[in-house]
Amino acid sequence: MPLKFNKLPFAYFTAIALTRIKALAIFHHTKHNNGVKVVEKDKVISGMLRDELKRCQEMLDSLDKSVSELPKGSISERKKCYKNKVYSYYYLKYREGEKVISKHVSNREVQEILKKLAMRKKYEKEMQSYEKKIAYLNKILRAGKRRGHGNIA
């Protein structure tokens, strides 16, 4: 006889959802997770985590190198009036230490620099996500060492 979902209590669905969440949480070390620590016991998983950590660090280094080659700052437009005619020209503004530097940019280079600035912003956002992943992976691998399973990482 098929189950009718409209007659099952809400608590039934909540219990199923919580069971699935607990199953997913096995990879994360918490104080209240007294079950088998998969990451600590299984060398295959810890090896995969170390490989992922290495890959993330290589990607972070690659992105850092790419970002260092791109211009930083923002484009600002200045307008001048001369003999009842308005002229506009562009500057790339960026910081070096505490100084704000304004560098003149020709009109034909503006679009190219805007694309490079957008690319830099995208790469910096990716770098932040990789830094978070690296911190999380280091935390997991360190947790295994602290609990006396020093041979996994």
- What total of structural domains would you count in the chain? 1
Domain coverage including residue 91: 10-28+35-146
pLDDT band at 4 (very low <50, low <70, confident <90, very high): very low
pLDDT, tens digit, for every residue of 88-137? 889 999 999 999 999 999 989 999 999 999 999 999 999 999 999 999 99
pLDDT, tens digit, for every residue of 19-50? 444 444 444 444 444 454 555 557 788 888 89
Q: What is the pLDDT of residue 152?
A: 47
**Amino acid making up residue 70:** L
Residue 102 lies in a domain: yes
Judge whether 78 and 88 are in contact, CB under 8 Å.
yes
Residue 140 lies in a domain: yes
The CA distance from 51 to 56, in Å, is 9
Residue 2 lies in a domain: no
The CA distance from 46 to 28, in Å, is 13
pLDDT, tens digit, for every residue of 58-70? 999 999 999 999 9
pTM for the whole structure: 0.61
Structure tokens at 142: 């360190």
